[in-house]
Amino acid sequence: MPVVTFLPHEKFCPEGLVVEAQAGTSILELAHEHHIEMESACGGVCACTTCHCVVRKGFDSLNEADELEEDYLDKAWGLEAQSRLACQAIVGEQDITVEIPKYSLNHAAEAPH
């Protein structure tokens, strides 16, 4: 089983977290399962950029981003070459390290799930 490391984030995961993941699980699903309340204003259906994350390790083991995700990523705050939308990034067979950016473009943050 691959291991997913969430780097520390002041609001969502102050201590960071290392968890095992089932291949085929999205980064967003995994985060929410472990009480990391990443934002997802659209509910995880690839209709916003609030779940933007940066995959610091293991980027190539994720599924490939489709055109819709790429279009939304172009609008994300702090876009990097290894940016993904957590709702669309599916864990593969290799370990990954995920950084949740400090800011998102969510103008109306939702209550925790």
Q: Which pTM was predicted?
A: 0.90
What's the structural domain count of the chain?
1
CATH number for position 69: 3.10.20.30
Residue 17 lies in a domain: yes
Cβ(83)–Cβ(27) under 8 Å? no
Structure confidence at residue 106 (pLDDT) = 58
Residue 38 lies in a domain: yes
Residue 87 lies in a domain: yes
Residue 107 lies in a domain: no
Residue 105 lies in a domain: no
Beta strands at 96-99 and 3-6: parallel, antiparallel or unpaired: parallel
Q: Is the pLDDT of residue 77 over 90?
A: no
Q: Which residue segment(s) compose the domain that 12 sits in? A: 3-94
Residue 27 lies in a domain: yes
Structure confidence at residue 53 (pLDDT) = 97
Residue by residue, DSSP assigns 33-82 as HTT-----TT-SSSSSSTTEEEEEE-GGGSPPP-HHHHHHHTTSTT--TT
Look at the block and give the residue holding tokens 């940066």: 54
Structure confidence at residue 103 (pLDDT) = 75
Structure confidence at residue 105 (pLDDT) = 63
Joined tokens for residue 18: 């290392």
| More confident position, 91 or 105 | 91
Structure confidence at residue 107 (pLDDT) = 46
Residue 53 lies in a domain: yes
Cβ(12)–Cβ(38) under 8 Å? yes
Q: What is the tens place of the pLDDT at every residue in 4-62?
A: 999 999 999 999 999 999 999 999 999 999 999 999 999 999 999 999 999 999 999 99
Residue 104 lies in a domain: no
How far CA 44 is from CA of 29, 57, 88, 109, in Å, comes to 9, 22, 8, 14
